[in-house]
């Protein structure tokens, strides 16, 4: 069996859906995973790979697989996939049909959503939507 990596989800199309990582998102995974023990990093990466595979292939997921985390604007939210202590922040793309875009990963040791994480998600979201006609 071959080793699997989050890197294969840089831009991966499944049977029904697609996952894209925003520029810098995969680098943020490497940085945050380095803060974990090898065992914990492998466990969380395996969880995320299984979740991403299930989502792109339209498998039925628990309704708490991702939770609303903050607002991108008055009509649109971004979400978090939580696997303590890692968070993967993402939004549902308006540019690409049936696609989520992973903004970045965070090793989270605090309760509240940080302003810098909201800013990073918004910058990535605005970058994706820059070419889209309003």
Q: 33-90, pLDDT tens digit by residue?
A: 999 999 999 999 999 999 999 999 988 888 888 999 999 999 999 999 999 999 999 9
Share of residues in the chain with pLDDT > 70 (%): 95
Predicted TM-score (pTM) of the model is 0.92
6-124: CATH, from 3.30.2310.20, 3.40.190.10, 3.40.50.2300, 3.30.300.30: 3.30.2310.20
Secondary structure (DSSP) of 76-107: -EEEEEEETTEEEEEEE-SSSTTEEEEEEEEE
pLDDT at 134 over 80: no
Give the other-Cβ count within 10 Å of 55's Cβ. Answer: 19
The rounded radius of gyration (Å) of the Cα atoms in the chain is 14
Residues 6+ away with beta carbon under 8 Å from 87? 69, 80, 81, 105, 106, 108, 117
What is the sign of the dihedral through the CA atoms of 114, 116, 119 and 124? negative
82-112: b or e for each residue (b if 16 or more CB lie within 10 Å)? ebeebbbbbbebeeeeebbbbbbbbebeeee
| Alpha-carbon gap, residue 32 to 41, rounded angstroms | 9
Give the whole-number percent of the chain exceeding pLDDT 90: 81
Span 103-129, average pLDDT: 94
pLDDT at 130: 84
Do the bridges between strand 99-107 and strand 18-21 make them parallel or antiparallel, or are there none, so unpaired? parallel
- For the record, the structure tokens of 104 come out as 């970045």
Q: Position of tokens 């699997």?
A: 4
Can you give the pLDDT at residue 1?
Answer: 44
Residue 132 above 70 pLDDT? no
**Mean local confidence (pLDDT), 13-37:** 96
**Taking the domains of the chain in order of start, what are their residue ranges?**
6-124
Is the model's pLDDT at 95 over the cut of 80?
Answer: yes
pLDDT at 133 over 70: no
Closest CA to 103 of 118, 121, 119: 121
**Range with top average pLDDT, 7-11, 18-22, 56-60:** 18-22
């Amino acid at each position: 069996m071959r080793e699997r990596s989050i890197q294969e989800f840089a831009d991966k199309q499944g049977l029904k859906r697609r996952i894209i990582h925003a520029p810098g998102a995969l680098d943020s995974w490497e940085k945050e995973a380095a803060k974990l023990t090898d065992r914990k990093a492998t466990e969380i990466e395996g969880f995320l790979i299984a979740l991403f595979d299930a989502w792109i292939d339209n498998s039925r997921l628990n309704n708490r697989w991702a939770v609303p985390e903050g607002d991108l604007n008055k009509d649109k939210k971004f979400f978090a996939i939580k696997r303590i202590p890692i968070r993967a922040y993402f939004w549902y793309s308006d540019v690409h049909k049936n696609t989520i875009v992973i903004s970045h990963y965070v090793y989270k040791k605090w309760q509240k959503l940080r302003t810098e994480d909201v800013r990073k998600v918004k910058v990535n979201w605005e970058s994706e939507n820059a070419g889209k006609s309003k």
